[in-house]
Amino acid sequence: MNAKSLYQEVILDHNRKPRNYGSLNNANHHAIGHNPLCGDRLDVSLSLEDGHIDNIAFQGESCAICKASASMMTAAVKGKSRGDAEILIHEFRDMATGKLDLDNPHHLGRLTVFSGIQELPTRVKCAILPWHTLHAALNSVTSASTEAESDPIHLSAGNG
Amino acid sequence: MKIVDATLEQDVTFANEMEKVRADFPVLKLEVNGKPLIYLDSAASSQMPQPVIDRLVYYQTSQHANVHRGVHYLSETATSEYEGARQKVQHFVNAREDREIIFTSGTTDAINLVMHGYGRKFIKADDEIILTTLEHHSNIVPWQMLAQETGAKIRVVPVNDAGELLVDEYEKFFNQRTKFVGLIHVSNALGTINPVKKMIALAHMHGVPVLVDGAQAAPHMKIDVQDLDCDFYVFSAHKLCGPTGVGMLYGKASLLESMQPFKGGGEMIATVTFEKTTYNTIPHKFEAGTPPIAAAIGFGAAIDYLLTIGIDEIHAYEMELLHYATELINELSGVHVIGTAASKTSVLSFVVDGIHPHDIGTLLNQEGIAVRTGHHCAQPLMQRFKIPATSRASFAFYNNRSEVEAFIAGIYSVQKFFSR
């Protein structure tokens, strides 16, 4: 695929003007995600009330793919139940790793702009990191990584 | 004006000569994403020229058997070619004797060999190991493992904003507990050439042995281990046009003899009974099991190839490419070169305002341009410069000026793409 087609306007827009960027004062769930491959760090905090994500924010230093993915993720899960958020996490991971058939019913909506990432294996982790971190935060794990034991997709890291 | 003309003419002839070597590299005919490949990642791994490929094929088709074992024709041939490769490496680094050259699986393996063979025998609790901020993880992690095991301490030589080691600080580190120095010759992330000869002399004034990680130096400059007077020198073949899976450890014979073996097995023994094993002499003491025979012979062929071009010629041409690229990249606004040491190899590490290195790498790849993006296995160094990662172009003697221009145009178009 042409990599430029991945960097669609919607992704560039979320990279330029990320939604829900910053920290939350009243957060009761929080996690830091780390991608040791590139050194990216992402901080996700949310307030979970009666099983619903009342509010969510993220901040950190990362590439455009990761930042846009985080921005669109926060917009997608805000107001959703924890169960619905977990479904999105699952579907997003499967889409990014090419395991989801987009022709079948799913809940990803505009998040399908990231479907092309499966053809850029070195960038899959960039898109997935925010979702890993959200999953960790929802499950009260304070840190997530795209590598080692906490890596559910086991892609190899860089060398040299 | 005549003088200027003469210089120009000389430059053009020189560049034309170097242009011819491109024909030796079949990979340069490759197209990536519909564009001719522009390979600017030789610091991670260099490409292989046809003579080295041919040598590997010839070995596998007509010379292969296990070494140091049989009395038959093929075993004798393989053994003599393998030992011949050792002598090529010996002469390449100007070691006194061929038994001072150990074939390892690469730089990392060689450093681990010294950590296990020397470090675990001679470094104790509260002893100090000096490393530098410029080290690759391969010359950090083994020593940390040793420090954890023994209770030894690690001290780290800082760098200035240009990426140059503060040698005055280094000098102050020495005391009677200092037992080892691990020193990168050329920084893989920034290209800084360190004053290793001076730093080795300072260590020796305190009786401390020095290991030099030459992975990024050996492909670009003449290495003379006797002149440097280093105690250990290590590098990999695949960064100098040879195959992966092989590298070398040079060690002074007396030190290698004093060390304990790293790996146990066949080849490294003199006699074995279930009561007691006596070890073989160096270098075999450190080459347990069947070695990477084909790769070692390819290593020798790569050295032959580089010597036909000339190490000084390679260095001079790569410096031209570096200076040209540096000049052009400095004209781009919002682009910052990380690593501006006075003495550098042909490595250009940079960051671009508002654009992450990974995005740059992906978009350059779209133009067929291969650069490295990330922390370059030097996370402490990235922390020193307060950046998570850089993009890195590394130029080899098989690159040319038009590739440098395409690379600079590529960065410019990435900037345009992100500002639309």
pLDDT at B87: 98
In this structure, the number of other CB atoms found within 10 A of the CB of residue A74 comes to 23
Residue B230 sits in the same domain as residue B324:
no
Q: In this complex, which of B188, B362, B389 lies closest to A120 when CB atoms are compared?
A: B362
Pairwise CB contact (< 8 Å): A3 & B363:
yes
Architecture of domain A3-150: Alpha-Beta Complex (3.90)
Half-sphere exposure at residue A46, Cβ-oriented, CA atoms within 13 angstroms: 34
**Which position has the higher pLDDT, A149 or A8?**
A8
Contacts of B363 in chain A (CB under 8 A): 3-4, 7
Nearest chain A residue to B33 by CA distance is: A2
Nearest chain A residue to B377 by CA distance is: A160
Interface of A with B (CB under 8 A): 2-4, 6-7, 12, 37-41, 61-66, 120, 122-123, 126, 158-160
B413 touches chain A (CB under 8 A): no
Mean per-residue pLDDT of chain B:
95
Nearest chain A residue to B136 by CA distance is: A160
Last residue of a domain, one of B251, B284, B308: B308
Say if residue B229's pLDDT is above 90.
Answer: yes
Task: State the smallest CA–CA distance between residue B374 and chain A in angstroms.
Answer: 5
Residue B7 sits in the same domain as residue B84:
no
pLDDT at B242: 98
Residue B330 sits in the same domain as residue B251:
no
Half-sphere exposure at residue A14, Cβ-oriented, CA atoms within 13 angstroms: 27
Residue B70 sits in the same domain as residue B213:
yes
Candidates B356, B360, B381: best to mutate against A (most CBs of A within 10 A) is B356
Pairwise CB contact (< 8 Å): B355 & A126:
no
Nearest chain A residue to B366 by CA distance is: A3
Catalogue the long-range contacts made by B198-207 (C-beta closer than 8 Å, 24 or more residues apart): B198/B167, B199/B165, B199/B167, B199/B170, B200/B228, B200/B229, B200/B230, B201/B229, B202/B167, B202/B170, B202/B171, B202/B174, B203/B130, B203/B174, B203/B178, B204/B229, B205/B174, B206/B174, B206/B178
CA B405, B408, B409, B410 torsion-angle sign:
positive
Residue B265 sits in the same domain as residue B376:
no
Q: What is the CATH number of the domain that holds B21?
A: 3.90.1150.10
Phi and psi torsions of A44, nearest 5°:
-115, 125
Of the listed ranges A63-72, B147-156, B268-277, the one predicted with least confidence = B268-277
pLDDT at B18: 80
pLDDT band at A149 (very low <50, low <70, confident <90, very high): very low
pLDDT band at B384 (very low <50, low <70, confident <90, very high): very high
Nearest chain A residue to B378 by CA distance is: A160
Pairwise CB contact (< 8 Å): A64 & B366:
no
pLDDT digits (tens, 9 = 90+) for B335-371: 999 999 999 999 999 999 999 999 999 999 999 999 9
Residue B247 sits in the same domain as residue B264:
yes
Contacts of B389 in chain A (CB under 8 A): 38-40
Average pLDDT for residues B370-389, to the nearest whole number?
Answer: 91
Residue B263 sits in the same domain as residue B408:
no
pLDDT at A16: 92
Residue B181 to residue B357: CA distance in whole angstroms: 33
Q: In this complex, which of A4, A63, A159 lies closest to B358 when CB atoms are compared?
A: A63
Pairwise CB contact (< 8 Å): A38 & B418:
no
Number of domains in chain B: 2
Residue B141 sits in the same domain as residue B19:
no
Q: Which residues 200-219 in chain B show a CB within 8 A of chain A?
A: none
List C-alpha distances in Å: A18 to A14, A117, B3.
5, 19, 58
Q: In this complex, which of B355, B362, B389 lies closest to A123 when CB atoms are compared?
A: B362
Please give the positions of B annotated as active site: 377
**Which position has the higher pLDDT, A25 or A142?**
A25
Q: In this complex, which of B366, B375, B377 lies closest to A38 when CB atoms are compared?
A: B375
Last residue of a domain, one of B308, B335, B361: B308
Residue B285 sits in the same domain as residue B388:
no
Pairwise CB contact (< 8 Å): B379 & A41:
no
pLDDT at B267: 84
Mean per-residue pLDDT of chain A:
87
Supply the range of the domain harboring residue B217.
52-308
Name which of B40, B79, B42, B46 is nearest B63 in CA terms. Answer: B79
Of the listed ranges A130-144, B174-188, B385-399, the one predicted with least confidence = A130-144
Can you give chain B as a three-state secondary structure string? CHHHHHHHHHHHHHHHHHHHHHHHCHHHHCEECCEECEECECCCCCCCCHHHHHHHHHHHHHCCCCCCCCCCHHHHHHHHHHHHHHHHHHHHHCCCCHHHEEEECCHHHHHHHHHHHHHHHHCCCCCEEEEECCCCHHHCHHHHHHHHHHCCEEEEECECCCCCECHHHHHHHCCCCEEEEEEECECCCCCEECCHHHHHHHHHHCCCCEEEECCCCCCCCCCCHHHHCCCEEEEEHHHHCCCCCCEEEEECHHHHHHCCCCCCCCCCEEEECCCCEEECCCCHHHCCCCCCHHHHHHHHHHHHHHHHHCHHHHHHHHHHHHHHHHHHHCCCCCEEEECCCCCECCEEEEEECCECHHHHHHHHHHCCEECEEECCCCHHHHHHCCCCCEEEEECCCCCCHHHHHHHHHHHHHHHHHHCC
Residue B138 sits in the same domain as residue B279:
yes
B420 touches chain A (CB under 8 A): yes
pLDDT digits (tens, 9 = 90+) for A115-128: 999 988 888 999 99
Pairwise CB contact (< 8 Å): A7 & B359:
yes
Contacts of B374 in chain A (CB under 8 A): 37-39, 158
Nearest chain B residue to A61 by CA distance is: B388
Last residue of a domain, one of B254, B279, B308: B308
Residue B209 sits in the same domain as residue B341:
no
Name which of B185, B184, B228 is nearest B95 in CA terms. Answer: B228
Task: State the smallest CA–CA distance between residue A104 and chain B in angstroms.
Answer: 30
pLDDT band at B233 (very low <50, low <70, confident <90, very high): very high
Say if residue B322's pLDDT is above 50.
Answer: yes
Q: Which SS3 state, helix, strand or coil, does residue A118 take?
A: helix
Residue B44 sits in the same domain as residue B56:
no
Average pLDDT for residues A86-91, to the nearest whole number?
Answer: 96
B418 touches chain A (CB under 8 A): yes
pLDDT digits (tens, 9 = 90+) for B1-51: 344 444 555 666 677 778 889 999 999 999 999 999 999 999 999 999 999
